[in-house]
């Protein structure tokens, strides 16, 4: 990424370099707005990781997450988006402009697009990172079709885990539902719902100890009185999401009780000139929905900045 500088004024500053942020940048920069994108970790975000994405339009044979995001980045660079590798620590509304604070400096912006995404909680057990994208997944909608007619395990006890178990039960041969030693958060009603699926086996009182395999996942090991190893083709880890909400709340941006940024139909938050797009608004959690959000946010930011400039010139 480019060398950090401070004290600069941009038309648009984008927080986050995943599909939503990159798409917003493509739209604003292509229309001549000075655009800075700040990403503290990996350009491409979580979309960089998947071994293969099969539901992004235009790639009938599928495409790796890395290749798709490299194309996004190249297109954004072509239109003049600037990139800075910094960690954002603050955002404030200064009236006419917004101030973005990072560990490396500060930037002024006429408009800001928040595309910080969410982080998936991890178990941090042996094998999880080793087999990520090769049998370990975090989203049934995204990766479930890869496991059609196979055997999978779903680890998680909340609402999202239950929803993913039922989604997977429609397409896979067998699902081991592993809520952990504390059980499902929804109680007996959840169990009744899951028992309606003949190919779902709920394993109570067990925690996942490790994930193993060769090139891909072949088994999991449990901490359980009688069960030890289960042969599986994939493991879906569906724990709580971790939105990057603290900074946004301090900035006065409204979120719901789950930490999802609240936006209107134009992706604008409750703060004029601050827009949000992608997973941080908790929409479809897909690359396609993120790019759609990013396009809407980019166009709305474009209209906002142009109106601001017209107002100042009169």
Give the per-residue pLDDT at 259.
Answer: 80
Which candidate, 94, 19, 23, places its Cα nearest to that of 301?
23
CATH class of 8-119+241-313: alpha beta
Model confidence at 1, pLDDT cuts 50, 70, 90, reads: very low
Give the per-residue pLDDT at 2.
Answer: 47
What average pLDDT does the segment 124-131 reach?
Answer: 90
Give the per-residue pLDDT at 193.
Answer: 82
Give the per-residue pLDDT at 140.
Answer: 84
Question: Residue 245 phi/psi, 5° resolution?
Answer: -100, -25
| pLDDT digit string, tens, across residues 100-119 | 988 778 999 999 999 998 76
Whether 8-119+241-313 shares its CATH topology with 122-237 is answered yes
What average pLDDT does the segment 255-276 reach?
Answer: 92
- pTM for the predicted model, two decimal places: 0.69
Task: Kindly report the average pLDDT of the chain as a whole number.
Answer: 88
CA distances from 292 to 20, 23, 33, 203, 295 (A): 7, 8, 20, 39, 5
Give the three-class secondary structure for 152: strand
Location of structure tokens 């500053």: 13
Q: Which of 41-55, 76-90, 130-144, 219-233 has the lowest mean pLDDT?
A: 41-55
d(CA 232, CA 151): 5
Structural domain spans, the chain: 8-119+241-313, 122-237
Q: Which of 89-93, 243-247, 295-299 has the lowest mean pLDDT?
A: 243-247
Structure tokens, 287: 């690359």
Q: Which CATH architecture has domain 122-237?
A: 3-Layer(bba) Sandwich (3.50)
Give the per-residue pLDDT at 120.
Answer: 65
Q: Which burial class, exposed, middle or buried, applies to 310 when counting CB atoms under 10 A from its CB (0-12, 13-18, 19+)?
A: exposed
pLDDT higher than threshold 90 for residue 83: yes
Give the per-residue pLDDT at 191.
Answer: 74
d(CA 266, CA 244): 21
pLDDT higher than threshold 60 for residue 5: no
Give the three-class secondary structure for 235: strand
Give the per-residue pLDDT at 160.
Answer: 79
Determine the distance from the C-alpha atom of residue 131 to the mean position of all C-alpha atoms in its chain, rounded to a whole number. Answer: 19
Give yes or no for a contact between 148 and 167, defined as CB atoms under 8 angstroms apart: no
């Amino acid at each position: 990424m480019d060398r950090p500088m401070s004290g600069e004024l941009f038309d648009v500053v984008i927080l986050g370099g995943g599909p939503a942020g990159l798409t917003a940048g493509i739209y604003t920069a292509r229309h001549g707005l000075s655009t800075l994108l700040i990403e503290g970790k990996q350009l491409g975000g979580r979309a960089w990781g998947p071994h293969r994405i099969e539901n992004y339009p235009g790639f009938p044979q599928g495409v790796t997450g890395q290749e798709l995001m490299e194309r996004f980045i190249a297109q954004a660079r072509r239109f003049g988006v600037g990139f800075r590798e910094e960690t954002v620590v603050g955002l404030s509304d200064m009236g006419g402009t917004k101030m973005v604070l990072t560990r490396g400096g500060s930037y002024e912006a006429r408009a800001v697009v928040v595309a910080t995404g969410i982080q998936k909680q991890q178990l941090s057990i042996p094998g999880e990172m080793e087999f990520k994208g090769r049998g370990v997944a975090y989203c049934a909608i995204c990766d479930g079709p890869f496991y059609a007619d196979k055997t999978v395990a779903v680890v998680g006890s909340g609402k999202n885990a239950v929803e993913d178990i039922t989604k997977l039960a429609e397409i896979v041969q067998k699902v081991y539902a592993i809520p952990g030693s504390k059980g499902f958060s929804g109680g007996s009603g959840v169990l009744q719902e899951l028992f309606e699926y003949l190919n779902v086996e709920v394993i109570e009182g067990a925690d996942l100890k490790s994930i193993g395999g060769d090139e891909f996942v072949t088994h999991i090991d449990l901490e359980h009185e009688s069960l030890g190893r289960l042969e599986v083709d994939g493991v879906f880890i569906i724990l709580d999401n971790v939105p990057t909400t603290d900074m946004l709340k301090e900035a006065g941006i409204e979120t719901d009780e789950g930490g999802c940024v609240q936006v209107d139909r134009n992706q604008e938050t409750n703060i004029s000139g601050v827009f949000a797009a992608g997973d941080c608004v908790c929409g479809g959690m897909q690359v396609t929905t993120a790019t759609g959000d990013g396009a809407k946010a980019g166009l709305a930011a474009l209209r906002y900045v142009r109106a601001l400039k017209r107002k100042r010139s009169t």
